[in-house]
Amino acid sequence: MQLLSALVLLTLLKAHPTTAAVKEYTLDIVNAPIAPDGYNRMGILANGTFPGPLLTANKGDTVKVTFNNKLTDESMPVSTSIDFDGVLFNTASVYNEGSPFVTQCPFGPNTSYTYTLRLGEQSGSAWYHSQVSLQYADGLRGVFIIYDPEDPLKYLYDVDDESTIWSVADWWHSTSTATLNSYNLTQVIPLQDSGLFNGVGRYVGGPEIPYVVQSVTKGTRYRFRLINISVRWQVFVSVDSHTMTVIEVDGTPTQPLETNMLSLMPGARYSVVVTANQAVDNYWINAIPMDPGSPNKYEENPVFDPTLSRGILRYAGAPDAEPTTPMTQGPEGTAANLLQEHELRPFIPTPPPEPDYILNFTTSMAINETAWLFNGTQYESPKVPTLIKILDGASDAADFNKSENTFIFPRNKTVEINFLPDPTDELHPFHLHGNRFWVIKSNESDIVNTVNPPIRDVAAKGNGGTILRFTTDNPGPWFFHCHIFWHFWAGLGAVMVSDPEGIRQQAKPSEAWDELCPAYNALPVVEQ
């Protein structure tokens, strides 16, 4: 068995003997007013907050999260389904993975569903969000941290707790339904109105909402967990006068790598160590959003200013005030040391196996219509979820509609996805559910690394070409899609099915899961 395969199985199946516990959370999904940048609008929120409540657990725990759907505002989606990005589900619990019409049907108003996550040996920074339509743009997104009490990199930092979590996000004053309607008419994603750091931001002409303050003590080393919970926007993060040492990417511990600026695509997560080694003062935390498709289009929305997206790093003893230095977009020119993805190395050296299958993939936008094509096919959600079809006997491509864009592989194989260079295309953050992949070639570099490349679950596909590999040792139907959700909604996705027979033998759906599709199909169309 290849090394990564063995690690994944240990992650999924092995319970940690000293910390294993059952943690239970209950989140009410409600329509409530929200004004993270001072502009009031209705949102879709977990327990009425944005971001949603922080979920935490330790390696080895079992986490049960009950979502009560109390949505009533039909100007936005009212059915929901929750995805836990960065959490690996094994085959027995694949039905709880949360991908609508792949592993489950959504659940409608006045109903509840409990997701059970058996964490095994996995740890790291993850998050949760609605996977239905663009619903998470309305606020249904939050952070999920899995701590490792025996973290082998713990010697590098002193503090890692709820106070050292940094989320960055994009925000629109219009509802997701309104932005989808605009996108459908124009083929252009409406420009956001603000960028948020830990749920707070500003827009041009709006109130000067106080920025989030990160308190630090001089001489202390902090592990900050950066999670980009955006729907569209790439975010560049830096801290004035400080460096950052990367020690985790998308749940995979990495060999320490120093930088002073990070680029996070939607869905990406990093842990960085920052030492409070500067003079006692206030320093800007820059969280600058950039449109990965059109980085110079800020002028299209007069209320959006990317430099207003930030927080404050405040040393104990510093005045209760904003930094006196300019609001910049971070280090520039020779002072900039932007992290290069291809330089990352897993903490445990993990060579990728040679591929058994090589898939050459292209992405393109259909002319004169709002459709994104993945290898010439626009993905469309089926009425019967992929998992149900497999449990009923589907085993090869002929058992699925072409629009389901479903790829089927035997167990214990290695699949290479080769995104060909395309100078006409924009940057897409591709995310694979249920697995992590080796980034054999990063979009930003010509280097091909088949010895010890980065391991993650979100990687950029752009005009430079990207090569990914993953193994099929975890049977299940796993979404593979662009994490820009307008593109995903317009068809930029596929389903990677590992070992259909293994799924039938090992998946053990619950009675509550069995009831989801009949209940969803009985809903009035307006409620779906």
Strand 55-58 to 41-46 pairing: unpaired
pLDDT at residue number 324: 97
Q: Is the separation of the CB atoms in 100 and 132 below 8 Å? A: yes
pLDDT at residue number 1: 38
> What CA–CA distance (Å, rounded) separates 64 from 114?
6
Residue 507 lies in a domain: yes
pLDDT of 367 above 70: yes
pLDDT at residue number 300: 79
pLDDT at residue number 293: 56
Residue 428 lies in a domain: yes
At 476, which helix (H) or strand (E)? Answer: strand 476-482
pLDDT tens digits, 285-313: 999 998 765 555 666 799 999 999 999 99
**Closest of 120, 118, 138 to residue 30, by C-alpha:** 138
pLDDT tens digits, 217-274: 999 999 999 999 999 999 999 999 999 999 999 999 999 999 999 999 999 999 999 9
Q: Say whether pTM exceeds 0.85.
A: yes
> What CA–CA distance (Å, rounded) separates 439 from 340?
12
**What's the average model confidence in pLDDT over 328-335?**
92
Residue 465 lies in domain: 357-525
pLDDT of 209 above 90: yes
> What CA–CA distance (Å, rounded) separates 319 from 284?
14
Residue 59 lies in a domain: no
Work out the pLDDT band at 8, boundaries 50, 70, 90.
very low
Residue 368 lies in a domain: yes
- How many structural domains is the chain composed of? 1
Q: Is the separation of the CB atoms in 152 and 248 below 8 Å? A: no
Supply the CATH number for residue 478's domain.
2.60.40.420
pLDDT at residue number 286: 98
Residue 126 lies in a domain: no
Residue 58 lies in a domain: no
Residue 175 lies in a domain: no
pLDDT tens digits, 425-476: 889 999 999 999 999 999 999 999 999 999 999 999 988 999 999 999 999 9
**What's the average model confidence in pLDDT over 367-375?**
88
DSSP SS3 for 420: coil
> What CA–CA distance (Å, rounded) separates 449 from 442?
9
Residue 292 lies in a domain: no
pLDDT of 87 above 90: yes
pLDDT tens digits, 23-44: 999 999 999 999 999 999 999 9
DSSP SS3 for 117: strand
Tokens 């993945």 appear where?
A: 374
Q: Is the separation of the CB atoms in 80 and 107 below 8 Å? A: yes
- Rounded to the nearest integer, the mean pLDDT of the chain is 94
Amino acid code (one letter) for 392: D
